[in-house]
Amino acid sequence: LPPPLGRRPPHCPPTPPPRLAPSLPVVLGQDKTEAIKGFRKAMVRTMTQANQIPHFCYCDEVDMTALVGLRGHLKAAAEAYGVRLSYMPFFIKAASIALSHYPILNASVDDKCENITYKASHNIGLAMDTSEGLVVPNVKGVQGLTLMEVAAELNRLQELGLRGSLSTRDITGGTFTISNIGSISGTYAKPVILPPEVAIGAVGKIQVLPRFDSSGNVVRAHIMQVSWSADHRVIDGATMANFSNMWKSFLENPSKMVLHLK
Ligand code: CAO
């Protein structure tokens, strides 16, 4: 089979993403003031705007045991095509399938919150820690992409992000966002909506913890926390909870996702 994405020949391991350089402690001899520029300036604008939005927060835990096993198998298969398969493509694809059932969460509101626009395309953003600070590129048209195509696009965005080379197109037009703070190490986070979007999710690190199975036995489980924030002017708690339940059911029973994959 030729590589489906035309990126690298089969059996060639994917290039690991460039990592942020480890930082040395900084000792300032005197106070230093500098202009807030670039991605940080954009963060000032969007987060000040976001602060006007009444946030509703909904949290749950997800049993990732089955998905950890599945990804273990698929990772090597994706690598044969030069694609790094992390958990993010599953989070993003499961979100897109659930968004098809709850389109109000893939929407935007205007400045005065008088109109809501249901977005046709699922352009799912991911918060990314880059050399230049927080940036939120998005994977466009996730509803029509396979898991491997989502993964390949994520690889591209991550490589560009860490080099500070994302294009304006890559970082605009997002319709829904997921932030994976767990890739750094945190367990919980309370995400802040990226206006004009109406919802965002944050996932923590997958931890091996004891849980009860259906027979009441203590078992070893891979557990991950998720927190959703939604704009409570237009999204009610039940909608967010129902969406979260569906998203979670795809991650806990990944074979169910197969029915909906494009
Ligand atoms: N729990 C456990 N392991 C995780 C994980 C999680 N939640 N998320 C990622 N991992 C694993 C990956 O699977 C990968 O392991 P393998 O080598 O076995 O595949 C490893 O951690 C590194 O993953 P990664 O970070 O390269 O890739 P990713 O697709 O999981 O995440 C990205 C990409 C861009 C989301 C991430 O690099 C990043 O920048 N995270 C920070 C997000 C952030 O700053 N959020 C805060 C926003 S508010 O300021």
pLDDT at residue 170 greater than cutoff 90: yes
Give residue 208's pLDDT.
Answer: 98
Condensed to tens digits (0 to 9), the pLDDT of residues 115-128 reads 999 999 999 999 99
Residue numbers annotated as active site? 232, 236
* 76 pLDDT tier (thresholds 50, 70, 90): very high
Query: Which of 183, 188, 205 most suits a substitution to test ligand 1, by most atoms within 8 Å of the C-beta?
Result: 183
pLDDT at residue 5 greater than cutoff 90: no
Tell the CATH topology of 55-258.
Answer: Chloramphenicol Acetyltransferase (3.30.559)
Matching residue, tokens 């460039």: 18
Please tell me if the CB atom of residue 160 comes closer than 6 angstroms to any atom of ligand 1: no
The neighbouring-strand residues paired with 162 are: none
Condensed to tens digits (0 to 9), the pLDDT of residues 27-74 reads 999 999 999 998 899 999 999 999 999 999 999 999 999 999 999 999
Question: CA–CA separation, 62 vs 193, rounded Å?
Answer: 22
Structural domain spans, the chain: 55-258
Matching residue, tokens 């050399």: 131
For residues 232-236, give the mean pLDDT. 98
Condensed to tens digits (0 to 9), the pLDDT of residues 89-98 reads 999 999 999 9
Distance (angstroms) between ligand 1 centre and the Cα of 119 equals: 27
Distance of CA 214 to the CA centre of its chain: 30
Distance of CA 4 to the CA centre of its chain: 24
Distance of CA 221 to the CA centre of its chain: 22
Determine the Cα angle at 52 with ends 111 and 123, to 5°: 60
Give residue 7's pLDDT.
Answer: 52
Please tell me if the CB atom of residue 127 comes closer than 6 angstroms to any atom of ligand 1: yes
Question: CA–CA separation, 129 vs 231, rounded Å?
Answer: 24
Please tell me if the CB atom of residue 67 comes closer than 6 angstroms to any atom of ligand 1: no
Give residue 133's pLDDT.
Answer: 84
129 CA: nearest ligand 1 atom = 39
* 247 pLDDT tier (thresholds 50, 70, 90): very high
Please tell me if the CB atom of residue 252 comes closer than 6 angstroms to any atom of ligand 1: no
Q: Whose CA is nearest to atom 4 of ligand 1?
A: 183
pLDDT at residue 261 greater than cutoff 70: yes
Distance (angstroms) between ligand 1 centre and the Cα of 159 equals: 13
Tell me if the bond preceding 4 is cis, omega within 30° of 0. Answer: no
* 1 pLDDT tier (thresholds 50, 70, 90): very low
**Which are the contacts of 16, defined by CB distance < 8 A and separation ≥ 6?**
84
Give residue 39's pLDDT.
Answer: 86
Give residue 24's pLDDT.
Answer: 85
Please tell me if the CB atom of residue 139 comes closer than 6 angstroms to any atom of ligand 1: no
